[in-house]
Chain A
Amino acid sequence: MASYDLTQRIAPNLDRHLVFPILEFLQERQLYSDEQILKSKIELLNKTNMVDYAMDIHKSLYHTDDVPQDMVERRAEVVARLKALEEAAAPLVSFLQNPSAVQELRPDKHYNLQMLNDRYQIGPNQIEALYQYAKFQFECGNYSAAADYLYQYRALCTNSERRLSALWGKLAAEILMQNWDIAHEELNQLKEKVDDSKNFLSPLSQMQSRIWLMHWNLFIFFNHDNGRMQIIDLFNQDKYLNAIQTNAPHLLRYLATAFIVNKRRRPQFKDFIKVIQQEQYSYKDPITEFLACVYVNYDFDGAQKKMRECEEVILNDPFLGKRLEEGNFSTVPLRDEFLENARLCIFETYCRIHQRIDMGRVLAEKLNLNYEEAERWIVNLIRSSKLDAKIDTKTGTVIIEPSHPNVYEQLIDHTKALSGRTYKLVSQLMEHVQTQAAR
């Protein structure tokens, strides 16, 4: 199943720290050998300041208590640097930790800077130090502190480029702390910045930022309550869809899943099917193939097969396969939802082109249900008037009423508007004539 694993394609677009949750997940699913994962973890940590953690992993990987010399050295180095940065940022940090002092800050940034400079001798250097300190904290894995400092820094900083990095840093910190609501707000702020082309030198870097943004958002969307709607809103925007198509087609998986789970997005759905069809050459996995089977090729047996593969894919995807622990057993809520909706997709399309369906063999099979369940399922559909059909129990079939609108009704519909338009036209004309005459 590792063939559908997207970690390799996703990871380059994430922050180093954000890759950890994914690796954790992979370790849990045991898609790769433990050793491989631990090694990559160490590699990942090597460039961060979380040396202690790296040491732990090293120990468990090689089952020794010895730690390589360079790690020890690095640790000392990190600690020293932390001290230095702490000192540099100390004045500002102590100022910010003093609630009464903080109250003196006003929304006016210039005033604040002036005030800090005059009364506390805090100049640009100290502010810059705050940023460095926050970054260092983040590197050390102290996300909450980093998030706090970055928040404060943003209020004081004047460099727009720095502000942008601070935003990214804050977002990452919030994601890592799993504060989804705050992260979501940060996300919206960041999105505004990213969509503003003034912030970018070249369209290319703007697109790259969009791709980053989308990747980071995956964390939020699949954890936030309302995330699945928002993922469609964001990803399906032209600019973002373009970015996906050009450089990150693997994100189509998440968009496809979101579409299947959200039935209400019909109009956009049709366009999305076209995109899937068009991108087939550059990316496909069971989920997109499922959509292609149902909505492009009308190959229901194929869809059936793909649906089963989809289940696997979802379970092994770090974002889609999120588990909920309920008592003793864990469920993957998205999987159930997906399967239910996918089934509905198949059935809906199937009904549109059939007038009589054998319930016992075919339908139950198609829906992955037994006869009783299938019957109940269909009765429910009919009762909720989603389906204009009748069950023929004698032959064990569902009979679907073909619906064809009356020709006369159609004609009337078409012509109704015409008279209204004509009247309007005449009145417009009259009005015009009158104004002319008045002159």
Chain B
Amino acid sequence: MSSRFWTQGGSDSEEEESDYEDEVETGGAEAANETAGSRYLKGMASDSDDSDGQKRVVRSAKDKRFEEMIATVDQMKNAMKINDWVSLQESFDKINKQLEKVMRVTESVKVPSLYIKALVMLEDFLNQALSNKEAKKKMSSSNAKALNSMKQKLKKNNKQYEDLINKCRENPESEEEKDEDEETEEDEDEESEFEEDIVEGSDADEEEEEEEADDVNDKGWEKKLSKKDKLIDKQFKNPGEITWETVNKKFKEVVAARGRKGTGRFEQVEQLTFLTKVAKTPAQKLEILFSVISAQFDVNPGLSGHMPINVWKKCVQNMLIVLDILTQYHNIAVNDIIEPDENETQKPADYNGTIRVWGNLVAFVEKIDTEFFKSLQSIDPHTREYVERLRDEPMLSVLAQDVQDYLERVGEFKAAAKVALRRVELIYYKPQEVYDAMRKLVDQVGDGDEKAGEEESRGPSAFIVVPEVVPRKPTFPENSRTMMDILVSLIYKYGDERTKARAMLCDIYHHALLDEFSTARDLLLMSHLQDNVQQMDVLSQILFNRAMAQLGLCAFRVGLVAEAHSCLSELYSGGRVKELLAQGVSQSRYHEKTPEQERLERRRQMPYHMHINLELLEAVHLICAMLLEVPNMAANIHDAKRKVISKTFRRLLEVSERQTFTGPPENVRDHVMAATRALTKGDFQKAFDVINSLDVWKLLRNRESVLEMLKAQIKEEALRTYLFTYSLSYDSISLDQLTKMFDLSEAQTHSIVSKMMINEELHASWDQPTQCIVFHEIEHSRLQTLAFQLVEKLSILAESNERAIEARIGGGGLDLRRRDNQDYAAAAGKWQDNSTYTLGRQGTTRSGYAGSGRTLALGQPGGYTRDRSGQLRGASGYSGGQRNSAARGSQMDSSARMVSLNKGVR
């Protein structure tokens, strides 16, 4: 029974369909075009369906439900034929109920297309009936009533399935065919319909498959292209007949289809590309090209995936053509503010006056750059593909360069600054060697490009042929620094706040990379970036962290241990280095991230080639901490907790001391801990050997000199530690002996010891005739030390009392306070004097050590403020340790800030 219905219904529906189409075709040329398009679409759809067909499975339980539904649809069709709205209404209710059942059985979220089709059919019929007023009048009252209620019901019902209906309308035939495949698809979700898009999805796991798929697609593309070319060629069969109007009309049509469901994104690109070839005026060509580029961006839906690489490349080529046109025809202006009038592009090339075309070059460049970045993010860095992808970078830089040149020529410096920033971001992380390699690559790629160009030029020749005016090869100055300087000075001059800040950070990073610590530091301090980095966006904060890390490494390379430590300690204080540098997702033990957060975080990861080596960073950080902390601990045996320079280091040390057995060092931490143990005893040679055995050193360019520096530092700190620890056991010690023990020159030893004496870290003096250090017996006894501590605590107590009273008395106390202010301040001042004095006596101040002790403590509170996103912390950390060496940084008035910007220009 049902099978009879099936066949019958099937043939019926076909008839119906063809009728419908006939009707439509008479509608006009406009509609004809649409069907032409959809016919093509059908081809596409069937392609994907073919592949689906292979995995067809028949499930009888569901069949039954479907058959019921089909039967109902047939009833509806019959009712339509006789214009019986009452039964139609009944059938409609029935099919809705059936739908629920079907959905339950198939357990899918997708509404069967059969149902949708029925809805479409109904709607069309309804509209037809409504428009036919005469027929309406003739209707019986019950029939008319049913019609009206049907109208309302359908309207309400259809709203739910609006998308699906629209899609169904656009390619009814594919839906038709899918009817048969329904069972196979029912448990796949909606996305399966966009098979062609999904192929481009960006799951890293599927990367390789994708590549293949891309290739396949490519081939498929060309074939289809020819098919389609024929199709469009039919319209544009006779080149002579093509006018601006026809092209414009077609163009509008294609653009209007953009974004609609069921519009193939690739086809749109192809159609538009074809149109560029038949464009009549350069302005029109330009306009269409912009649309092509937009369409190319559209190819990849969603935020997470990246644009297919071949599309990306074509996109870059298109941009270059755009620039060619713009350079060729000076009278064309690109603007995204003014909406040009309809026929602006009709003006011929030799039109007298400017032709305005809507578009935004900067946005395009930025988008292309972002896509490039995204693709690098998602490609596995250990594959060849990644390297291949990296080779595309010159393409990007040539584009950016050309756009920047163009914008500068046109006088849009603000926009040019934005593009310049993109260029800066392409090179700032490259050391000179990498930069040179890139320049070489550019030369090689240049040859390859020409071939590609030849391939491109196949096919029908375009009406508007634009010679390649803009250079296709990027030009790089000899030195990466020169390039940075040029770009950065442009940005400082014209950029907006964010652009400037980012450029500044890149500049700092690059200076640090070239071992120009002082320049980088001055830039950082004078730009006041660390003060307002908290207010910046997360990406800029990451850049800031990267710059800080690089600055720390740079300080270490040039031998400024204290500075290096203050740069790096903030990064390590939270144990989330990876996250802070966006070089991997770190798992937090305490709170789970929501998938949303995780996705966000993944999206801002740095591509692998931009990473700062974390092991090296950790080694540098820990070694710096060791060099500062070991003598510091030796100096404060009585009161080790009081002055902690590096909390992280102390914690690690505690952990390693708690171990019962210490094995040979394995990772960076173990090495530094082993070195620390040796250094505490004053054994500099062992300490150095252990550190020297780390493999990270091979990452350094001037490895020898850095290790040399490191050795000297270790010696010095070993000497200091030794003196702190064992000075009690000596009455006097000769310079000679110390020199031999620590393998230092006499002058060095003398200088180090003298420094300790002056800073009152060591209570001793030289006996010049005998070249001996004579120690004074003024070491405080335990009792005395405790007494001093007690005094200090007392004064803190007194102070907190005062504060408490002040708070209690509040406003009333203000006048009192004011009266006593003088004394209070004096007392406080005195107390402060005393306390530093105490420190001095105990040999704890290390103000001699670049005086960073005090300022570091001051800087600490700043480090604990968290920013909005809670992602980055301690951006302000640098201010702490550095304030001393850069007193000017903190005191600098705004004048200096501006200056700094110009200083960078130089």
Contact surface of A with B, Cβ cutoff 8 Å = 202-204, 206-207, 238-239, 241-243, 245-247, 271, 274-275, 277-278, 281-282, 297-299, 301, 349, 352-358, 362, 395, 397, 400, 402, 404, 407, 410-411, 413-415, 417-418, 420-422, 424-425, 428-429, 431-432, 435
Contacts and interface: CB of A to CB of B under 8 A. Distances in A.
Interface stretch (B229-237, B422-430, B749-757, B869-877): B749-757
Contact of B767 (A352, A356, A411, A435): A356
B778 A417 contact: no
B138 interface: no
A353 B758 contact: yes
Given A207-B896, A354-B768, A414-B795, A431 B526 contact: no
Contacts of B795: 414, 417-418
A387 to B, nearest CB: 14
Interface string B858-892: 00000000000000000000000000111110011
A429 B820 CA distance: 13
A204 B886 contact: no
B35 interface: no
A242 B526 CA distance: 10
B472 to A, nearest CB: 40
B754 A417 contact: no
A410 B805 contact: no
B898 A204 contact: yes
Given A278-B886, A297-B751, 13 more contacts: A202-B895, A203-B894, A206-B895, A246-B899, A299-B750, A354-B766, A355-B774, A397-B769, A400-B765, A414-B788, A421-B802, A424-B823, A429-B805
Nearest to A356: B767
A298 B758 contact: yes
Given A421-B827, A425-B805, A203 B518 contact: no
Interface string B748-785: 00110011011000010111111000101010100010
Q: Which 6 residue pairs spanning A and B have beta carbons closest together?
A: A203-B895, A298-B754, A355-B765, A353-B757, A414-B791, A281-B518
Given A395-B769, A417-B830, A242 B892 contact: yes
Given A411-B787, A435-B812, A275 B805 contact: no
A189 B900 CA distance: 28
B429 to A, nearest CB: 24
B827 A420 contact: yes
A404 B824 CA distance: 29
A244 to B, nearest CB: 9
A418 B891 contact: no
B747 interface: yes
A287 B758 CA distance: 22
A352 B896 contact: no
Contacts of B768: 354, 356-358, 362, 397
A206 B747 CA distance: 45
A418 B794 contact: yes
Given A298-B750, A431-B816, A271 B802 contact: no
Contacts of B896: 203, 207, 242-243, 246
B446 interface: no
B576 interface: no
Contacts, number: 154
A246 B801 contact: no
Contact of A207 (B792, B816, B895): B895
B834 interface: yes
Interface residues of B, number: 64
Nearest to A204: B898
Interface string B604-640: 0000000000000000000000000000000000000
B897 interface: yes
A301 B751 CA distance: 11
Contacts of A418: 794-795, 798
A246 B757 contact: no
A247 B903 CA distance: 8
Interface in B444-493: none
9 contacts: A203-B898, A204-B895, A278-B886, A349-B758, A353-B765, A357-B769, A402-B776, A410-B788, A421-B824
Interface string B345-383: 000000000000000000000000000000000000000
B902 interface: yes
Nearest to B801: A425
Most buried by B among A282, A355, A362: A355
B780 A202 contact: no
Contacts of A428: 805, 809, 813, 816, 820
B887 A275 contact: yes
B697 interface: no
Interface of A is mostly: helix
Contact of B802 (A352, A402, A425): A425
B820 A298 contact: no
A288 B778 CA distance: 35
A352 B784 CA distance: 25
Contacts of B386: none
Contacts of B899: 203-204, 207, 246-247
A394 to B, nearest CB: 12
A274 B780 contact: no
Contact of B893 (A203, A358, A432): A203
Contact of A245 (B808, B851, B888, B902): B888
A354 B431 CA distance: 49
B780 A402 contact: no
Contacts of A407: 780, 784, 787
Nearest to A432: B809
B101 interface: no
Interface string B815-845: 0100010011001001100100110010000
Q: Which of B757, B765, B774, B820 has the most CB of A within 10 A?
A: B765
Nearest to A353: B757
Contact of B778 (A204, A238, A404, A411): A404
Contacts of A421: 798, 802, 824, 827
B25 to A, nearest CB: 71
B813 A414 contact: no
A208 to B, nearest CB: 9
A245 B902 CA distance: 14
Given A274-B884, A282-B518, A355-B774, A414 B893 contact: no
A277 B798 CA distance: 39
B172 to A, nearest CB: 68
Nearest to A351: B765
A349 B885 CA distance: 23
A345 to B, nearest CB: 13
Nearest to B763: A404
A278 B885 contact: yes
Given A246-B900, A278-B886, A352 B895 contact: no
Given A242-B893, A298-B758, A414-B795, A356 B769 contact: yes
B528 to A, nearest CB: 13
B544 to A, nearest CB: 22
Contacts of A277: 885
Contacts of B747: 299, 301
Contacts of A238: 891, 893
Given A202-B898, A242-B891, A354 B776 contact: no
A414 to B, nearest CB: 4
Given A298-B751, A425-B801, A432-B813, A352 B758 contact: yes
A400 B816 CA distance: 49
Contacts of A353: 754, 757-758, 765-766
Contact of B769 (A202, A358, A400): A358
Nearest to B892: A242
Contacts of A245: 888
Interface centre among B765, B776, B895 (most CB of A within 10 A): B895
Interface in B250-298: none
A156 B788 CA distance: 68
Contact of B757 (A278, A352, A358, A432): A352
A299 B748 CA distance: 9
A411 B809 contact: no
